[in-house]
Structure 1
Amino acid sequence: MVKPLLISLLATSLFSAESLMFYKSGGKKLFDSQMNIPSYWAGTLFNKDLRFGYFERTCSLLACSKDKGILELYMPDAQKHFSLKKRFNAFTGKNAGDKLAAGDLKTPIGIYTLVERKRQVDPFYGPMAFVTSYPNLYDRIRGKNGTGIWVHGVPLSGTRDPFTKGCIAINNNDLIQLDQTINPANTLLIIDSSLKQGVSPSSYSAIIAGLHQWKYAWTYNDLDTYLASYDPSFKRADGMNLAQFKAYKERIFSKNEDKSILLDHLNIIPYPGEKRNLFWVTFNQLYISDSHKFEGEKSLLVRLNPNQSISILTEE
């Protein structure tokens, strides 16, 4: 087995001249290739809390079940195990189903960030509000529209209907408590009709391995394998379809540049809704080549296929 050999070599002489020679003469590529195998990641998932996804970047979670009319706050401990901190009664959109367009009175189904904390709002919305990132990347490529999906309170005076135009509304005291508890910049909002059961560890192993296979092909200029990770329906955030993306990447790969690509702070979250095989993937990427350098957050929507490979549907 290559993997035990590499681990033994690196563990016994990590800084030796022999190890450095092995690394420079092709050992790095050999070691990188092991990360493309799902079984390589099995140990990484041991004792992980996978109820909501695979998280390397710690964050708080707000989970909204529209059918039950609840909003739950989960927070991680030092081991990234999530515990329920508070359950709030919540109003959601008047109409059932996923939001498609402005004015349809539906609360969207998806994964969102809290992009703004609004202190000055109309008294109808209570003492304050959190603005969500709807429409997200996946919403936009599907042509969904509308804006102004908030998590807010209830009127400071008078009464209101037991539903919203698409927002999530909770009791004002609960909203104030939530505001005092979370950091909006480090909180994800997961909205579904009803909260789903967890995904098997083997699915996460396959996705992580698939991401490393994609990175491996990118790093070592294997264009065919790289493009095989993209779904025929692929559409990039800027609207580029797969044919346009392929032509663009062919020009880049033809330079045959040496590249260094690092991925860290990986999060993989099952995407809410009916399609249980879709996953929202985010990570920090550092890309360095002779002609270009990029460092920042990357977002992908991937499908886990029956053969355990991944297909990228969109990226930003």
Structure 2
Amino acid sequence: MNILKAAAAVLSLLFVFTTTFGSQPTIEDVLKQVENKNIDKAEELARQLPYEERIKLNIILLLQEGKKKEAERLFSKIKDIKKGILENVLYLPDGTYAIVVSKSRQKLKVIKMENDVPVEVLELRSITGKRPGDKLKEGDQRTPNGVYLPVKYLTKLAPMYGVGAFPLNYPNILDRKFLNKTGNGIWIHASDKPDRPNFSSNGCVVLNNDNFNKLRRYIKLKDTPVVIVEDFEYTDPKSFKEKQMALIYFVYQWKRAWEETAKGKLDNYFLLYSDRFVSKKGDKRQWIKYKTRISKQKDWIKISIKNLSILKDGRMLDFGNIYVAVFDMDYRSNNYNFKGKKILYIIREKGKWKILAEETL
């Protein structure tokens, strides 16, 4: 029982629903440090626990609480661990890249698509926040989990930022309106200290100057998705393809439904949005009122989608995982035109895909 209580204490440091490969610490390694009252070392090892070990630990705690059905549901996940396709990146346009940052491994991967499957181009050491877990508020020294885009490239900075920096669009609308996060200034930046220790940033993703220069060639402003997760997540080929195709279809279903609102057909469009939906216009009720009003002014709407990327946000909230669709949108109507980057935050709700939030960049 003492070991289980120790495990519960360690679990508070973990984010359970992440996936990993490779030789890493085990639960036994963490518990040994707890029993030796070496909490700092226990924390270090706990943050590097692979997915299977995290799942096992959570199963133990659920069984202790008498939650057998929940434990069985987690147990089924163990069987899917070594089936090999990185699912943080579900789809990318040809010739483009995505960056996936694993906070527990202190590494990032540059990813491209080959035959509609993500392939690793480059892996580099990267440093993240001093404190574990998702960023919640300004000054908490955590690196946020989520999907972001680089919005600027900065040089001629203080020496601590090395040769350059890419500020990210943190906090995004999901962070601000749904998760009530605060803070800003999350960058991918260089460092003039090649031997800087792991977990030593105030929230940014940091690389030494040499690695930053290697990474820079793959980054295109407002185009290259940056997926920050506790650890890389993998799935089997069948599940990957099913999710990929379903989300691509959903984005184009959304496009068609929006175009049809000019004909007074609003119901199908509104059904694609979660009841929890948030936007700069407010909650879903306020947004529906706004959309209903402006649709009456539309004789026609034509939308073009290009450079579609689909990513998996590593967080699992109370409604499940979040998926992010990023694309260039050309919106034209009889009284308004827009060209820019559109971002949809998508969830699975009661067996159907729904939009939780959306924004333009």
The aligned runs of 1:137-148 (5 Å cut-off) are 137-141=173-177, 142-148=179-185
User: Contact between 1:123 and 1:156, CA under 8 Å: does it hold in 2?
Assistant: no
User: 1:200 & 1:215 partners in 2: Cα distance?
Assistant: 23
Question: Quick one: higher RCO (CA 8 Å, sep 6+), 1 or 2?
Answer: 1
Q: Give the Å deviation of 1:259.
A: 2.8
User: Match for residue 182 of structure 1?
Assistant: 218
Does residue 206 of the first structure (1) align with residue 246 of the second (2)? Answer: yes
User: Match for residue 128 of structure 1?
Assistant: 164
User: Match for residue 143 of structure 2?
Assistant: 107
Q: Give me the CA root mean square deviation.
A: 2.7
User: Match for residue 324 of structure 2?
Assistant: 280
TM-score, with normalisation over the residues of structure 1? 0.74
303, 309, 312: which is aligned to 1:270? Answer: 312
Number of equivalenced pairs: 265
User: Contact between 1:259 and 1:289, CA under 8 Å: does it hold in 2?
Assistant: yes
How far does the alpha carbon of each residue in 1:51-76 deviate from its partner, in whole angstroms, 9 at most, with x for none?
61122364222211111111222345
User: 2:325 & 2:243 partners in 1: Cα distance?
Assistant: 13
User: 2:308 & 2:104 partners in 1: Cα distance?
Assistant: 30
Aligned with 1:246: secondary structure? helix
How far does the alpha carbon of each residue in 1:141-166 deviate from its partner, in whole angstroms, 9 at most, with x for none?
22212122122233459966751111
Question: Runs of 5+ in structure 1 lacking a partner?
Answer: 1-47
116, 132, 152: which is aligned to 2:189? Answer: 152
77, 84, 90: which is aligned to 2:126? Answer: 90
Does residue 216 of the first structure (1) align with residue 256 of the second (2)? Answer: yes
286, 290, 294: which is aligned to 2:334? Answer: 290
User: 2:152 & 2:189 partners in 1: Cα distance?
Assistant: 12
Q: Give the Å deviation of 1:137.
A: 2.4
User: 1:161 & 1:269 partners in 2: Cα distance?
Assistant: 26
Letter in 2 for 1:265: N
User: 1:190 & 1:298 partners in 2: Cα distance?
Assistant: 17
How far does the alpha carbon of each residue in 1:68-125 deviate from its partner, in whole angstroms, 9 at most, with x for none?
1112223456x56544333222221111110011110101101111222222121123
Residues 160/278 of structure 1: CA separation in 2 closer, same or farther (3 Å cut): closer
Residues 285/130 of structure 1: CA separation in 2 closer, same or farther (3 Å cut): closer
Q: Give the Å deviation of 1:239.
A: 4.3
TM-score, with normalisation over the residues of structure 2? 0.65
Aligned with 1:121: secondary structure? coil
Question: Runs of 5+ in structure 2 lacking a partner?
Answer: 1-84
User: Contact between 2:90 and 2:118, CA under 8 Å: does it hold in 1?
Assistant: no
User: 2:326 & 2:141 partners in 1: Cα distance?
Assistant: 29
